[in-house]
Amino acid sequence: MPNEKPKFYLTTPIYYTNGLPHIGHTYTTVVADAIRRYKRMRGYEVVMTTGTDEHGVNVERAAQKAGLPESEFVAKMAIAWKALWDELGISADEFVRTTDLSHVRTVQWLFKRCKENGYVYKGHYTGQYCIYDNAFVSEAKPGDNCPDCGRPLETITEENYFFKLSAFQKPLLDFYKKNPSFIQPETRKNEIISFVEGGLKDLSITRTAIRWGIPVPGEEPHVFYVWFDALTAYLSAVGGPDYEKRGFWPCDLHLVGKDIIRFHTVYWPAFLMAAMLPVPKQVWVHGWFLMDAAKMSKSKGNVILPRPIANMLGMDALRYFVMREIVFGQDGNFSYDALVTRYNSDLANGLGNLASRTAAMIEKNFGGKIPKPGPRLPQDDALVKVTSETIEEALEKFENFEFARSLEAIWAAIAAADKYLTSEQPWALDDSEADTQRKATILWTTAELLRIVTVLAHPVLPDSTAKVWTLLGQPGRVAAFELDGLRWGQLAIGVQLGKAQALFPRVEKSEAIERIEAMANEELNPAPAAPAAAPAHATTASGAAAAPAPNEKIGIEDFAKVEMRVGQIKTAERIVGADKLLKLTVDIGTEIRQICAGIAQYYEPEKLIGRKVAVVVNLAPRKLRGVESNGMIVAASVGPEGRPVLAGFPDEDVEIGARLK
């Protein structure tokens, strides 16, 4: 067929349905989505798969806890996962549920092929099993804890079907040798090679102790081991037994976290080899986002949720942060502080500011039409050079999955444009013919650089770059721009700029973090549903009480709900890593409360001791930057920057605990 596009197939893991997505899952999915967009801009026909892993003991237990039959529980969870990916704009082309009939058939077919080829036999197995990780721990003794998650192991004896993994030691080692880029990054490859060289034991791939799984045909009560089931989802997504028709198998890229590397680089290729099916081309293993140096988990209470961040700063900001902040392949710490700092510096002051000031100057000087540039001076040539080098560097780094480096190169070009504007000062030029021509050159040059960085950043920042593209009045969609054809000098002259849209409004750090944390608190600990008769404005979408419209009056009964009392500050200290917050202890008459207040930049802690303040005492406790705050100090918000001025009682010696009415 003439001009048929090359195909590219990539996957995220098929996530467990016993919980909801946190920033770790979002990270893998965002990276997959960015690669998908990038490959499309490089001329590929791309399929990206994600999905939900719905079988196994964990899910069985979670369903019991929720008081639902398993099938109903997983259906609800799958909808929730899919809805969140849709909401965040990272939904894949294929979403596999491991309870889908087409998937069930593919698993059974794969097993049959492995069995027919002599790689499956029946035996007995007694071992230590981690029900949370769905894995036997071969080296463990009774009473041990799981080496991965630390939970107690259970002794299980079963009649199982075994997969002859031991037969694949040599084929796997040969395969790694012949395909040196199969496991990436390199350090991970060495880890797996030494593991396989250490010897492989046969693997039990069916269970009888578990009910909630895919049945082994004709062998009930055997159900498939969850990993035999889940890994096969990658194949079921693109046709299963009919994979040849769609032409997307073997998979080009499995993206996984380091927790599941063995399953993907040892078991999965071995299953496929046994079934005489093509083996994936590459498994890319990334690191973890850590919270205070620990892996995130709901049971530890240290999960970061994606939705509150996307609500506060926009999804592009979250995408940019996770891809810019940590080196792909390594671990990194997640912090709201770093997130908002990057948002303000790189997005609001960087890309957002360059786009809005360039457009504003073209508007003012050239009626909003991209001007025709005049002759170039050496400083213009220098910017052209920087930009051309940026194209090369940013693409090369992205191609090698050095996302942070690729973005760094793009943002260096943005910084060069800012510097160029500052030194060329187009605003200081007048309306003479020579100056107007110089202004035209400067603004065309800046706008051309902006167009190029917009194209380069598109896979990572799809929404905001689409807005800049419209702003620049460029034809077509930026998503359809072919990266291979990106060159300096393609910015059309005389086109009218499009409508300016808000890109990245600057945010005040502590306020932004406070709001993200409040939304996350609500999502993790949802308040009971509002009574059915409550007026429409009583709750927002996130469940928080909404302010009434500005001219709407509230009744005295509404005001009476807020219990404010006179409190006296007993201690005050700064919070490490939170430059706007003070941690206070406040005597409210009946008890001493710990309260955090966003006043650190305006009040010295020592000078606050003994001061009487107004305190909202019946506010639900919440955590600010990890510190519990049980109440709120009332302050006026003064001036454009919202400087806090504490409400107080200078004229009277008021009694501590007195109510404000």
> What residue has token string 């400083």?
379
Stretch that binds ligand ME8, among 136-144, 163-171, 228-236, 484-492 (CB under 6 A): 228-236
| Secondary structure of 273-304 as H, E, C letters | HHCCCCCCCCEEEECCEEECCEECCHHHCCCC
Work out the number of other CB atoms within 10 angstroms of the CB of residue 195: 15
Spatial contact of 376 and 360, defined as CB atoms under 8 Å apart: no
Considering the complex, what minimum distance in angstroms separates the CB of residue 92 from ligand ME8? 13
Among the listed residues 8, 9, 27, 271, the single contact to ligand ME8 using CB under 6 A:
27
Per-residue tokens: 597: 């207040």
Stretch that binds ligand ME8, among 253-261, 393-401, 415-423, 585-593 (CB under 6 A): 253-261
Q: Give φ, ψ of 441 to 5 degrees.
A: -65, -45
Q: Is 503 helix (H, G, I), strand (E, B) or coil?
A: coil
Considering the complex, what minimum distance in angstroms separates the CB of residue 406 from ligand ME8? 20
- Which residue lies nearer to ligand ME8 by CB, 301 or 494? 301
Residue 260 binds to ligand ME8 (criterion: CB under 6 A): yes
Considering the complex, what minimum distance in angstroms separates the CB of residue 365 from ligand ME8? 47
Residue 54 binds to ligand ME8 (criterion: CB under 6 A): no
Separation in Å, CA 271 to CA 142, 244, 268? 29, 18, 5
Among the listed residues 130, 214, 230, 632, the single contact to ligand ME8 using CB under 6 A:
230
Residues 6+ apart with CB under 8 A from 420: 379, 383, 442, 445, 446
Among the listed residues 8, 9, 10, 14, the single contact to ligand ME8 using CB under 6 A:
14
Stretch that binds ligand ME8, among 117-125, 255-263, 310-318, 492-500 (CB under 6 A): 255-263
Residue 259 binds to ligand ME8 (criterion: CB under 6 A): yes
Residue 111 binds to ligand ME8 (criterion: CB under 6 A): no
> What residue has token string 């902006």?
450
Q: Give φ, ψ of 205 to 5 degrees.
A: -115, 10
User: Pairing state of beta strands 253-257 and 283-286?
Assistant: parallel
499-529 core/surface letters (b: 16 or more CB in 10 A; e: else): ebeebbeebebbebbbbbbbbbbbbeeeeee
Q: Give φ, ψ of 477 to 5 degrees.
A: -105, 140
Residue 188 binds to ligand ME8 (criterion: CB under 6 A): no
**Residue span 66-85 as binding mask against ligand ME8, x where in contact by CB under 6 A, dash where not:** --------------------
- Which residue lies nearer to ligand ME8 by CB, 16 or 411? 16
- Which residue lies nearer to ligand ME8 by CB, 332 or 371? 332
Stretch that binds ligand ME8, among 7-15, 72-80, 235-243, 354-362 (CB under 6 A): 7-15
26-52 core/surface letters (b: 16 or more CB in 10 A; e: else): bbbbbbbbbbbbbbbbbebebbbbbbb
- Which residue lies nearer to ligand ME8 by CB, 172 or 256? 256
Residue 516 binds to ligand ME8 (criterion: CB under 6 A): no
Residue 231 binds to ligand ME8 (criterion: CB under 6 A): yes
Residues 6+ apart with CB under 8 A from 140: 127, 128, 146, 147, 153
- Which residue lies nearer to ligand ME8 by CB, 285 or 455? 285
Considering the complex, what minimum distance in angstroms separates the CB of residue 165 from ligand ME8? 17
Q: Is 365 helix (H, G, I), strand (E, B) or coil?
A: helix
> Which bin fits 239, alpha (ψ -120 to 50), beta or left (φ > 0)?
left
151 DSSP assignment: P
Distance between CA 373 and CA 328 in Å, rounded? 40
Residues 6+ apart with CB under 8 A from 174: none
- Which residue lies nearer to ligand ME8 by CB, 33 or 53? 53
- With CB under 6 A as the rule, give the number of residues binding ligand ME8: 20
Considering the complex, what minimum distance in angstroms separates the CB of residue 90 from ligand ME8? 13
Considering the complex, what minimum distance in angstroms separates the CB of residue 519 from ligand ME8? 20
- Which residue lies nearer to ligand ME8 by CB, 236 or 474? 236
Distance of CA 475 to the CA centre of its chain: 30
Applying the rule CB under 6 A, the residues between 261 and 320 that interact with ligand ME8 are 288-289, 295-296
DSSP track, 19-77: S---HHHHHHHHHHHHHHHHHHHTT-EEEEEEEEE--SHHHHHHHHHHTS-HHHHHHHH
Considering the complex, what minimum distance in angstroms separates the CB of residue 62 from ligand ME8? 12
Residue 15 binds to ligand ME8 (criterion: CB under 6 A): yes
Distance between CA 120 and CA 131 in Å, rounded? 23
Among the listed residues 8, 32, 53, 271, the single contact to ligand ME8 using CB under 6 A:
53
Judged on CB neighbours under 10 Å (0-12, 13-18, 19+), 428 is exposed
- Which residue lies nearer to ligand ME8 by CB, 122 or 300? 300
- Which residue lies nearer to ligand ME8 by CB, 79 or 493? 79
Q: Which residues pair with 565 in a beta bridge?
A: 615, 659
Stretch that binds ligand ME8, among 181-189, 225-233, 520-528, 565-573 (CB under 6 A): 225-233
- Which residue lies nearer to ligand ME8 by CB, 264 or 405? 264
Separation in Å, CA 581 to CA 453, 502, 611? 37, 29, 17
Among the listed residues 104, 256, 318, 632, the single contact to ligand ME8 using CB under 6 A:
256
Among the listed residues 24, 306, 308, 644, the single contact to ligand ME8 using CB under 6 A:
24
Residue 13 binds to ligand ME8 (criterion: CB under 6 A): yes
Distance of CA 519 to the CA centre of its chain: 16
152 DSSP assignment: B
- Which residue lies nearer to ligand ME8 by CB, 254 or 612? 254
Residue 50 binds to ligand ME8 (criterion: CB under 6 A): no
Among the listed residues 10, 25, 38, 444, the single contact to ligand ME8 using CB under 6 A:
25
Considering the complex, what minimum distance in angstroms separates the CB of residue 288 from ligand ME8? 4
Residues 6+ apart with CB under 8 A from 269: 168, 172, 175, 182, 279, 280
- Which residue lies nearer to ligand ME8 by CB, 41 or 47? 47
- Which residue lies nearer to ligand ME8 by CB, 24 or 598? 24
Stretch that binds ligand ME8, among 20-28, 170-178, 469-477, 606-614 (CB under 6 A): 20-28
Q: Is 165 helix (H, G, I), strand (E, B) or coil?
A: helix
Among the listed residues 257, 314, 350, 426, the single contact to ligand ME8 using CB under 6 A:
257
Note the residues at the interface with ligand ME8 (CB under 6 A): 13-16, 24-25, 27-28, 53, 230-231, 233, 256-257, 259-260, 288-289, 295-296
